Amino acid sequence: MCGFTLVSVDLSMLFCNLDHMSTSSTTAQVLSGVPVVAGVAYAPVIRPGARPPAPPADDTEINEADRPAEVARMKDAAAAVADRLRERAAHATGVASEVLATTAALAQDRAWLGDAEKRIRAGNSAEQAVSGAIAKIADALARAGDLMAERVTDLRDVRDRVLAQLAGLPEPGVPVPDVPSVLCAEDLAPADTAGLDPALVVALATTLGGPTSHTAIIARQLGIPCVVAVDGLDAVPAGVPVMVDGGRGTVTVSPDATSAARTVEESRRDAHRIAQWTGPGRTADGHPVAVLANVQDGAAARTARQTPAEGVGLFRTEMCFLNRDTEPSVDEQARIYGEVLTAFQGAKVVIRTLDAGSDKPLKFAGHRDEANPALGVRGVRISFGNPGLLSRQLEAIAAAGQATGTDPWVMAPMIATADEAKTFAAQARSYGLTPGVMIEVPAAALLARHILEHVDFLSIGTNDLAQYTMAADRMSSELATLTDPWQPGVLALVEMTARAGAAAGKPVGVCGEAAADPLLACVLVGMGVTSLSAAATAVPGVGAALAAVTLERCRAAAQAVVQTASAADARSAALAALG
Ligand code: PEP
Ligand code: MG
């Protein structure tokens, strides 16, 4: 019933059970998007400064004698932009500083600067040359897709900064507000979001962007509510008060001020309750559910150890080697894996074998060019043509287990058939390891009971399961509503997998982003999922949500959700069942 994106608050009260929303204002509108960071904020909108206009295509040709000076003007502008970004990087910390430094480096990137110089020497103005050179590279990146395409926003941001510098205009980007504000934009460039002060920018909302976009990453780091892919957000002008609910994925335009303030206060109390949760994971009536962390290296594991996470449900090993040209030796791999095992000594650690390919290509995995890398030789499929890569990794994992006195579980990504699971399990067992597989391909979910004949556990990767079930690229911001893990088609496959695990008496975890959503986590437990693994920052929220509901309520929510036909209805059904 809540499938439409623009409804009056009173209608949302009636149909969507969003019972905390304002009731007194008939002008308020609720815009729906994809929730990214939970929490509620209420403040006026600010918008990034206008981008400089594109230079006219029929610009007059620069005289040959003036071209060297024009090249110097272009290079000076790029250098000034890079200097300013580096200066901001020096005063920022963490991811913000890295993002600003990376954008500064992009402003000095030889590929586009060289092309722009050539264009000026052929008669273009500096403005035309910058636009043309960056458009050419951005097009190539967009065609390459996946991670490459994500750099397009960064490059266009650099272009606009250089064009503004050339025109003597103020730097485009986010203004520093006088009062706490909600930053709304079509999309936010990394350099816009890096260095934001969370005391002044209290929430983010964008028209584009997906749950893994830069906007989302920065919002998570700042801990401010964030909703992306918000339909209708472009029509909300600066200065209008809005309430952003990052848990529900809504932006309420001009809500009743009193009830908005009350909702913000309730959300603060929630945040306090979450901070008090210390584990272990269990429902209010004591049903145990392991709440685990997703990590990508030893440093992340040590950080996760500071949270109440009971172990590691997903160690993405490929992330350790993204910059490597050659395969790390067994000894080096064993040392790296050992760091994570040591951080969680005595706890459960699930190590995933290399999920190379698609958005995470590894130079040493020998990927061939493919038209559709997400549907190509990725994950466990790499080992079909290169079995040594997998066996050396299993050897390293076994060695790390021995060196640390631990018993790591190991799982393969992108399993599609029971035969693949059987082959992987036999190999893992030959190294004394406990084998499992990820359920990310719909065929694997449908045949989970056969796969369970060979392995000791399953772990559902809802990010890829949503991508493949909905036939929608998980990196596409335009398709973010399709790759929402609340899509009932995706949840039906999760339920089927959990049921197969219960019938076989074997554990079934969820380690995709779905496990980081406290409301959905309760539904997953109601479906029979036995563990939840999420980003370390999401662990307390998930644990606290489970602690507040009984298993019976979770089961009722799961039953209600599987009856629905849309992601919005699934959320509403869960809210109604869980209260
Ligand atoms: C998933 O697909 O849900 C998953 C956890 O794997 P990754 O996000 O690393 O592809
Ligand atoms: Mg995956």
**Residue among 295, 355, 487 to mutate when testing ligand 1 (max atoms within 8 A of CB):** 355
Q: Determine which one of 16, 214, 320, 454 is catalytic.
A: 214
Q: Which residue in the list 2, 184, 226, 511 is annotated as catalytic?
A: 511
Domain 288-549 is in which class?
alpha beta
CB 513 within 8 A of CB 211: yes
Vertex 440, ends 434 and 443: CA angle to 5°? 100
336-340: long-range pairs with CB below 8 Å, 24+? 336/297, 336/298, 337/396, 337/397, 337/400, 337/408, 338/400, 338/403, 338/404, 339/297, 339/298, 339/301, 340/295, 340/297, 340/298, 340/301, 340/312, 340/315
Instruction: List the one residue out of 204, 200, 192, 182 whose CA is nearest residue 46.
Output: 182
DSSP reduced 3-state for 387: helix
Quote the ligand 2 centre to 387 CA distance (angstroms).
20
The one-letter amino acid at 113: L
d(CA 513, CA 53): 38
CA angle, corner 531, sides to 40 and 453, nearest 5?
145
Amino acid of residue 462: T
| Active site annotation includes 214 | yes
* Assigned token pair, 176: 């520093």
Domains 12-48+174-256 and 288-549 share a fold: no
Active site residue 16: no
CATH homologous superfamily, domain 12-48+174-256: Phosphohistidine domain (3.50.30.10)
The Cα 255–Cα 241 span in angstroms is 7
Domain boundaries, given as residue ranges, for the chain: 12-48+174-256, 65-167, 288-549
Is the distance from CB of 298 to CB of 339 less than 8 angstroms? yes
Q: Name the β-bridge partners of 416.
A: none
Report the pLDDT value the prediction gives residue 140, as an integer from 0 to 100: 83
pLDDT of residue 17: 29
Cα torsion 330, 334, 336, 340: sign: positive
For residue 10, the model assigns a pLDDT of 25
pLDDT of residue 355: 94
SS3 per-residue string spanning 290-311: EEEEEECCHHHHHHHHCCCCCE
Q: What is 65-167's CATH number?
A: 1.10.274.10
Helix (H) or strand (E) holding 158: helix 146-167
Q: Could you tell which of 438, 484, 490 is best to mutate to test the pocket of ligand 1, judged by most ligand atoms within 8 Å of the CB?
A: 438
Q: 565 is written with which tokens? A: 């036909």
pLDDT of the residue at 87: 86
Ligand 1 mean position, distance from CA 464 (Å): 6
Give the environment of ion ligand 2: residues with CB less than 5 A: 440, 461, 464
Distance 414 CA to ligand 2 centre (A): 7
Neighbour tally for 480: CB within 10 Å: 22
Give yes or no for a contact between 418 and 447, defined as CB atoms under 8 angstroms apart: yes
484 to 167, 348, 462, 496, 564: CA distances (angstroms): 42, 28, 9, 18, 14
- The whole-angstrom distance between residue 484's C-alpha and the CA centroid of its chain comes to 11
Give me the amino acid identity at 52. Answer: P
With 0.85 as the threshold, say if the pTM is over it.
no
Task: Find how far residue 170's CA is from the centre of its chain.
Answer: 32
Per the omega criterion (within 30 degrees of 0), is the bond before 35 cis? Answer: no
In angstroms, rounded to a whole number, what is the distance separating the alpha carbons of residues 513 and 461? 8
Question: How is residue 327 annotated by DSSP?
Answer: P
Whole-number Cα distances in Å, 387 to 322, 323, 373: 20, 22, 20
Each of the 579 residues of the chain gets a pLDDT tens digit; together they read 232 222 222 222 222 322 333 333 446 899 999 888 889 999 999 998 877 888 877 667 899 999 999 999 999 999 999 998 898 788 766 666 777 788 899 999 999 999 999 999 999 999 999 999 999 988 887 776 655 666 787 888 899 999 999 998 877 878 777 789 999 998 887 677 766 788 889 999 999 877 666 677 778 777 899 999 899 999 999 999 999 999 889 999 999 999 999 999 999 998 888 989 999 999 999 999 999 999 989 988 998 999 999 999 999 999 899 878 899 999 999 999 999 999 999 999 999 999 988 878 888 988 888 989 999 999 999 999 999 999 999 999 999 999 999 999 999 999 999 999 999 999 999 999 999 999 999 999 999 999 999 999 999 999 999 999 999 998 787 888 899 999 999 999 999 999 999 999 999 999 998 999 999 999 999 999 999 999 888 899 999 999 999 999 999 999 999 999 999 999 999 999 997
Q: Under 8 Å CB-to-CB from 531, ≥6 apart: which residues?
A: 281, 289, 290, 291, 292, 313, 507, 509, 510
Residue 162 φ then ψ, to 5°: -70, -40
